[in-house]
Structure 1
Amino acid sequence: MLNPESSTRPDAPPSVGSAEGACEGRKGNSGEVKVLLTAEEVYPAMERAFLSAKTEISAGYRVFDLSTKLRSDEGRAIGDDWFDLITHVLRKGIALTFVLSDFDPVLAPDLHFASWKSRRAFVFARELAGPKADLTVTNAAHSARVGIAPRLVLWPRLVKEVGQTATRLNEAPASERARFLECSPGLRPLLNTGPDGTLYARKWPVPPLVPGTHHQKICVIDRSMAFIGGLDLDERRYDTKRHERVRDETWQDVQLMCTGPVAADVHSHLEEFLRVVAGQSAPMAEGRLLRTLSRRRKTDWPFLGPKPMVRTISDDHHRLVARARGLIYLETQFLRDRPLCHRLARAARANPALSLIVVLPAAPETVAFDGNTGSDARYGEFLQAKCVAILRGAFGERFTICSPVRPKALDTDGRDTLCGSPIIYVHSKVSIFDCDRAIVSSANLNGRSLNWDTEAGVMLNQTAQVEDLRGRIFSHWLGDDAGDEFYDPATAAALWAERARQNADSAPEQRKGFLVPYDVRPAESFGRRLPGIPEAMV
C-alpha cells in the first residue's frame, strides 16, 4: 500500500557523490516511504491510517484541532470532522495517546487557549465513545523557564502583555470571556478580578516565561506506520497543490508516510521525550529518528533558554553539507541559523562544483498577514538577511533563492505580495543533498528548531526514495514542462534562477510554475539586531 507512485523522472541524472561518507554512522529509513505534498494529500492519508488502526495510535502535535473537516471518502463515511473520527476510533477499542503542545500564556495566550480547547474536545470524544474508551491526552509545555534575572528585566513588558490580554477579554462578551478563561489554566493565575468583574494583570509575582515548545508533528499507528514532517492539523493549514486559496490561507508543506523500523522509533520517542525534556531520564530512543531535545537548566536564573540535549537534526545537516558534491536543495519556513549557513559557505568555497537552491516564503506568516512589527519578528528578519548575505558571498552565481507566488495579479505593496502576486506560504522543512540523502522533519533552519524546541524528522538514504522526494517537489514548483536540465545538479541552480527571473518579468497568468526571485531587501530594512538575545530565541 505504501509503495509510492514514483514521480521520479525516468531519465533523471544519476546520484552525485558516494553513498558512503560522513553520514554513514546514522541510520536512515529502510522501510517504505510515500511523499505527501500539502494537506490535500496528507489529511486523507492520515484519516485512512487512523481508521485502519488495529490496536493503538500515538501522536505528538503542536496543533491538532478536532473541528478540522474530514476529506477522504472513508472519513466522510463516518462523520464530518476529526472529532467524529476520533470518537469512532475510540469506540472501536483503539488506544489513543496524544501529546498536545502547550504554550506560554503570557506571550502566546491564543495558542495556550487553543491547546486546552483541543484537550476538551478529546475528552468529550472519550465520553461519547463510552466507558471503555482508552484515551490519554496530555497538554505539555516545555520544561524550561526563562531565568529570574532576564524576567526581572522584562517584568514591565510581561505585565503589559498580560494586561493587553485582560483588556481584550474585558471587551469580549461575558460567555466568550468565561470560555477563554476556562480553557486557559496558565493565564488565570496571572489575572486579578475587580469588584465589577473587570480583569487586570497581577503585578507580582513576575510571570513565568516558557522559552521552548514541542514543535514536532508526528504520529504512529500500531507501531508500524508513521507520519513525519512539518504539518499540523487544522483548517488554516489545509491547502491544495494548486494553491488557489487566498494568500493568507495558502500553505505548502511536506509529510512522509513511512513503514519499517522508523515507525517503532517514533513510538519509542513519544514514550520517552517528556521525561527527557523534564530531566528525569537520559535520551535513549534515537534509532532512525532525528531529533532536537532540550531540558531545563539545573541553574537557570541568568539564562533565557534551555540546555540542548539532542541535536541530531542539526548534526546531520552539517554532516551532509560537508558530504555534498553537486547540489543542495533547502525548502524551509525560516533560514536564520548562522552556524549552518557558515558551514554551507565553507563547503561552497571548498568545492567549486557545489550549488545551492533555497525556497522560502517571501515573508514570515505573522509579518505578511498579521502586520507583526514586534522585536521578535524584526530580529528574525535581521538574522535571515544575514544568512542570505553569507550564502550569496560564498556561492555567488551558484546560489539561487526563490519564493512561490500564486499565478494571479494583486496590486498592493505589502509583504503578502511579491512581483505583483499573492505569496504562497511555505512551511515545509525539507533538505536534499545530491540525489541520495534527504532530511524531512518538523525543524526550521533556525536556532530555535535546531537547539531548543522538540523536533522530529527522518533521513532518507536510499536513492530511489530521495529521487522520488526531489521529483515531487521540483515538479511541484517548476511545472510539468521543466526538462531534465532543471534536475541536473550541474545546471539546476542557474536554470531555476533564470525561470524565476522570467516569471518575475511575465504576467502572472503566463508564468511557468510558481517561483519568482526572493527579495531580501524588505528583510534588510525591517530587520533589527537584538543585542544580548540568543539567536535561538527566533
Structure 2
Amino acid sequence: MTQDRESEGPIGDLEVFVTAGEAYPAFERAFMNAKEQISASFRLFDLTTKLHSPEARKLGDTWFDLMVDTLNRGVSVRIVVTDFDPVAAPDLHQLAWQTKRQIAAVRELAKDDAKLEFDVALHDARAGWVPKMVFFPFVRQKMGELNESWSKMNEDERARFRSETPRLRNICYENDKGRLCFPIKLVDLYPATHHQKMAVFDRRLLYIGGLDLNDRRYDTKRHRKAPERTWHDVQVMTTGPIVDVAQKHLDTFLDTVAAKAPAAPSSPSFLRTLSRRRHRASFRVSPKTVVREIEQSHLDSVSRASKFIYLETQFFRHRPLARALAKQARKFPDLKLFIVLPAAPEDIAFDSNTGLDARFGEDQQIKCLTVLKEAFGDDRLLVASPVQPRRYSSDERDVLEDAPLIYVHSKVSIFDEFGAIVSSANLNGRSLRWDTESGLWFDRSDHVELVRRRVMGHWLPSGYGDEFLDPETALENWIRLVDRNTERAPEDREGFLVHYDSDAARDIAMPVPGMPEEIV
C-alpha cells in the first residue's frame, strides 16, 4: 500500500489491483484477517469460486470453505447479493438464488452460533403500467425463449430450475404437456439493479471497484485465455475515515432505495448512484434518481481538465458526459482524450446477441463517440481496445484485428494530475442514474499517480517509459504505439492495444425512438 497519510484526507493507504489475479488473493486475505465484522454487497457472489492465495488454499478449495472458516472464527458476516428481473434476466435471477442455496449449506456446516445475514435484494423500482403495455411484445418474446430453454431440460434440471427461480413461479406454471405457460397479463418490470461490488472489514478496510466474485471473472494480467474467458477489471483496497462512510452506505442503501430512509450522509471521496421507485409514475420506465455523485464527479472533473483525460470503461453511452467532454475540448485546444473500451459488449461478442437491446446500446455508443471525434479530432482522441498477442480466427465479434479480444469490465477515470475515480459504474446512463453504484474519488497526488501507473501501465509493453504516462506527452506516444500495433501481425505487437473498430458497432446499431437512453 501507499504510505499511510490519513491526516491529509479521508483515504489513507491504497492498493490498486489489476485483474482478479491480483484482487482475489487480497480479498481472500481480508476475509481471513477479519476479526469481528464483514459487510458486503455484490452483484454476483458465487461460493463455488476457487481460492487462489496460498493462505486460503490451506483452508480448502473454494469460497465455501473460506466462508465456513470465517464464521467459525466468530466473525459476523452480512452479504447482499443482487436479484434480477426473472423474465428479462432469468439466468442472473437463478444465479442469485443459487448463492442463497449455497449460504443455506454454509449455515448447516458452520457452528450453531455463527453470525450470518444474507439478502437477495431486488431493486424496488418498477416500470409504470403504460411502459408495461409498450414492452408487452418483448416480454412475451422473452417468455417464449424461456419456454424453449425449458423444453430442452430433463426432469432433474427442471426441478433445480424451479427451485432457483422463485419469482418465475409467481408468473408461470407447467401444463400437463410439460410446457411453461404464462397467462396473458401484464407483469412487473424491474428496470434497475444493485450493481455495486464492495466489502468493508472491521470498519477499517474497504474493498471496492468493478469486480464481482465468480470463476468467470478470474483472469491474470497475461490475458492468455479463450476470449470468452478473459476479464479485465480493477479493484482497490483502502483504509482511513472513508471506510466508515462506506460502512454507513452498506447499512442504509436498501432502505434508501425502498424509500424508507434518506440517503446516508457521504463524503466527496465516496461516490454513489442511488435511485428509488417512482410513485404515481404510470408513464415512466425509469426510477427516480436520488443520488448521482458518480455522474456529477465526472462532469465536474471534466470541467476542470485542461491536458489529458483517461477513461477505461465497459460502455461509453452517456451523452451528457460526451457533450461535456466535447465542450471542454473546444474550450481547451490542448486537451487530449484516451478511451479504452472492449471491442464489443459481452453479449454481442460471446453470445451473438443482435436483439433490440444490443442494437440500441451500440447506437448510443456510436453517437457518443461521434460527438467526441467531431470535437477532439484524430490528433487529440484515441479510442483503443485490448487484444491478445496471438492470431485468432472467428466470424463473430470476439476477434479484432485478427486477434482474440480481451474483455474490458473495469471502470476507471483519470483527469490530468488532480483526480481519479475507481468505481462499479460504467459510463452509461444506467450506471450513472439508475443502478445502485459505489466508488471512490482520489485527489491526493500520490493516489492519482498510483492509479495512473497501475491502470494505464498495464497496457504497456515492458521497457516503455514515463512518456506514456505523463499527461503532457502520453497521447501522442500511445497513438503511435496503437497505430503500429494495428498494422502489425498479432504476434509482432507490443502491449495489448489496437484501434477500436467503430464500423463493426455501426453495422448493427439501431436507434429506438422513445426508449430511455438509460435503459442500456
Question: Which TM-score bucket, shorter chain as reference?
Answer: over 0.9
Distance 1:307 1:238, change over 3 A: same
- State the partner residue of 1:365: 346
Please give the secondary structure, in 2, of the residue aligned with 1:384.
helix
Equivalent residue for 2:240, pick from 244, 260, 275: 260
Q: 1:244–1:58: structure 2 CA closer, same or farther, 3 Å change rule?
A: same
Aligned to 2:472: 490
The answer to whether structure 1 residue 378 and structure 2 residue 377 are counterparts is no
Matched, 1:236 2:216: yes
**Secondary structure, in 3 states, of the residue corresponding to 1:190?**
coil
One-letter code aligned to 2:126: R
CA contact (8 A) 1:247 1:422 kept: yes
Q: Which residue of 1 aligns with 2:401?
A: 419
Corresponding position: 1:390 with 2:371: yes
The letter of the residue matching 1:265 is V
| Greater mean alpha carbon deviation, residues 77-86 or residues 126-135 | 126-135
Moved more, 105-114 or 521-530: 521-530
1:517 aligns to what?
499
* Separation in 1, partners of 2:13, 2:230: 29
- Per the alignment, residue 18 of structure 2 pairs with 37
Root-mean-square deviation (CA), in Å? 1.4
Q: For 1:16-31, what aligned pairs fall within 5 Å after superposition?
A: 29-31=10-12
Matched, 1:270 2:250: yes
**1:97-496 superposed matches below 5 A:** 97-204=78-185, 206-287=186-267, 288-396=269-377, 397-496=379-478
* Counterpart contact for 2:419–2:441, Cα < 8 Å: yes
Using the TM superposition, give the Cα deviation of residue 261 of structure 1 relative to its aligned residue in structure 2, in angstroms.
Answer: 1.2
Deviation at 1:164, TM superposition (A): 2.3
2:38 is matched with 57
Query: Normalising by the residue count of structure 1, what TM-score does the alignment of the two structures yield?
Result: 0.94
Q: In structure 1, give the amino acid aligned to 2:217.
A: R
- Give, as a single letter, the amino acid of the residue that structure 2 aligns with 1:139: V
The answer (yes or no) to whether the contact 1:356–1:493 under 8 Å persists in 2 is yes
- In 1, the alpha carbon distance for the partners of 2:144 and 2:3 equals 52
SS at match of 2:166: coil
* 8 A Cα contact 2:11 2:238, kept in partner: no
Query: For residues 138 and 80 of structure 1, what CA distance do their matches in structure 2 show?
Result: 25
- Cα deviation per residue 1:466-525 (whole Å; 9 max; x = unaligned)? 111111122210122222221222221122111111011112122110000111111112
Superimposed CA distance per residue, residues 15-36 of structure 1 (whole angstroms, 9 cap, x where no aligned partner): xxxxxxxxxxxx9742111000
Looking at structure 2, the residues matched to 200 and 320 of structure 1 have their Cα atoms a distance apart, in angstroms, of: 51
Q: Using structure 2 for the length normalisation, give the TM-score.
A: 0.97
Residues 122-145 of structure 1: per-residue CA shift (max 9 Å, x gap): 121022102101111000111001
Deviation at 1:161, TM superposition (A): 1.5
**Which whole-Å CA distance do the structure 1 matches of 2:385 and 2:140 have between them?**
38
1:444-487: CA deviations, max 9, x gaps? 00000000000000001111111111111222101222222212
What is the letter of the counterpart of residue 516 of structure 1? V
Cα shift at 1:355: 0.6
Question: What SS does the aligned partner of 1:255 have?
Answer: strand
CA distance in 2, matches of 1:117, 1:359: 34
Q: Deviations over 1:423-462 (max 9, x none)?
A: 0000000000112310000000000000000000000111
Change (3 A) 1:326 1:419: same
How big is the shift at 1:234?
Answer: 0.4
CA shift at 1:4, angstroms?
Answer: 7.4
Taking only the aligned residue pairs, the percentage that are identical comes to: 48
What secondary structure does 1:459 align onto?
strand
Mapped contact 2:74–2:114 kept (Cα < 8 A): yes
The answer to whether the Cα contact below 8 Å between 1:294 and 1:454 also exists between their aligned partners in 2 is yes
The SS at the match of 1:98 is strand
The answer to whether the 8 Å contact 2:392/2:399 transfers is yes
Shift, 1:196, TM fit: 4.1
- Structure 1 residues 449-458 or 164-173, which shifts more? 164-173
- AA partner of residue 376 (structure 1): D
Q: Which runs of 5+ in 1 are unaligned?
A: 6-26
Rounded Cα–Cα distance in structure 1 between residues aligned with 2:421 and 2:214: 24
Distance 2:464 2:417 in 1: 18
Mapped contact 1:29–1:458 kept (Cα < 8 A): no
Secondary structure (helix, strand or coil) at the match of 1:220 reads strand
3-state SS of 1:533 partner: coil
Cα separation, 1, equivalents of 2:433 and 2:135: 23
Aligned length: 515
- Map Cα deviations across residues 347-379 of structure 1 (whole Å, 9 max, x no partner): 010011211100000100000010001111101
Q: Is the 8 A contact 2:228 2:350 kept in 1?
A: yes
Alignment of 1:71-110 (within 5 A): 71-110=52-91
